[in-house]
Amino acid sequence: MAGGTVRSKQIAVGKVVKNSGVKPGARNPLTPERVAAILNILAKTYPGVVCALNHRNAWELTVATILSAQCTDVRVNLVTPALFKAFPTPKAMAAASLPEIEELIRTTGFFRNKAKSIQGAARIVTEEFGGKIPKTMEEILRLPGVARKTANVVLGSWYGIAFGVVVDTHVMRLTRRLELTKETKPEKIERDLMKIIPEDQWINFSHELIHHGRQVCIARKPRCIDCTLEKLCNSDDKTWTSHPA
Ligand code: SF4
C-alpha cells in the first residue's frame, strides 16, 4: 500500500493524556454514516464469524467463558475437552471436588478461583435452574464468576438473544481507537455502544471486533497497513496511515 506514511506520535513523553487512544478535535466520530460504514466493513471482513470458544451447549460456553478470563481461547479449548469428559453435566460438575476441577483447569491461570466459580455455578444451575443455563441476564448474573460480559456471550452466542454488547479487552481497546466511546469501564462502554449500534447487530459486532482485535488491531503494534477500517480510523495508536493528520 504505497503512499502511506508512518503517523508521528503526538503525545509528549511522560505526559498523561486522558483518552489517549482518540485524537481530539471537533469532528463528530459518531455520525450514523460513519458507524454504519464501520459495521459494514467489519461484516464484510469477517463474514459468518462465531465465538472462538469450543462448546456444545450453553453450560459448556458458560464454563469456557469463565475459564477465558486472563487466558487465551486457544488454551481454554485445549483444556475443556478433558474437563467435560470427566464432568459432562452441571450435575456431575457440582458433585466434583475442587481439587479434581483445579487439576483439569490448572493451565488456564487463576485456577483456584475459577474452579470455585465453576463448581458454584454448577450447583446453582443444578439446584435452581433445572440443569440448564437460564435465558435472562438477571438469572445468569446469579452464577458465581459470571459478570455481564459472560452473560452477554452466552445469551448472544448460544440463545441468540441480544441483551447487550459483549465488551472484553479487545472491544474496549478497539472501540476507543475507533472513537465509538471515550469511556474506560466495560459497563459504560457497553451503554455507549448500545446507543449507536442497531440492536440486531449487537451480537455480530462484538464477534467481528474481537476477531479484528486478535488478528489486526492488536494491542501493542496494530497492523494498520492491513486494516480494512484504516481510512475510518484516526487513533493516535496507529502505526501507519493513508491520511496523515
Ligand atoms: S487503523 Fe490501526 S489502530 Fe485503527 S482500527 Fe485499524 S489496526 Fe486498529
Q: What sign does the CA torsion over 183, 217, 28, 192 have? A: negative
Count Cβ atoms within 10 A of the Cβ of residue 22 and give its class: 0-12 exposed, 13-18 middle, 19 or more buried. buried
Average pLDDT over residues 98-113: 98
pLDDT score of 7 more than 70: no
CA gap 159, 85 in Å, rounded: 23
How distant, in Å, are the alpha carbons of 39, 172, 203 from that of 120? 38, 28, 27
Q: What is the pLDDT of residues 111-137, one digit of tens each?
A: 999 999 999 999 999 999 999 999 999
Q: Is the CB of 227 under 6 A from ligand 1?
A: yes
Average pLDDT over residues 1-30: 47
If you count them, how many residues does the chain have?
245
Tell me which residues are annotated as active site.
149, 168
Q: Is the CB of 222 under 6 A from ligand 1?
A: yes
Q: What is the pLDDT of residues 24-71, one digit of tens each?
A: 556 899 999 999 999 999 999 999 999 999 999 999 999 999 999 999
| Nearest residue by C-alpha to atom 3 in ligand 1 | 238
Q: Is the CB of 21 under 6 A from ligand 1?
A: no
5, β-bridge pairs? 241
pLDDT score of 243 more than 90: no
pLDDT score of 13 more than 80: no
Residue in 41, 170, 178 to alter for ligand 1 test, most ligand atoms within 8 A of Cβ = 178
Q: What is the pLDDT of residues 127-167, one digit of tens each?
A: 999 999 999 999 999 999 999 999 999 999 999 999 999 99
| Region of poorest pLDDT, from 9-13, 151-155, 170-174 | 9-13
CA gap 224, 221 in Å, rounded: 9
CA gap 128, 123 in Å, rounded: 8
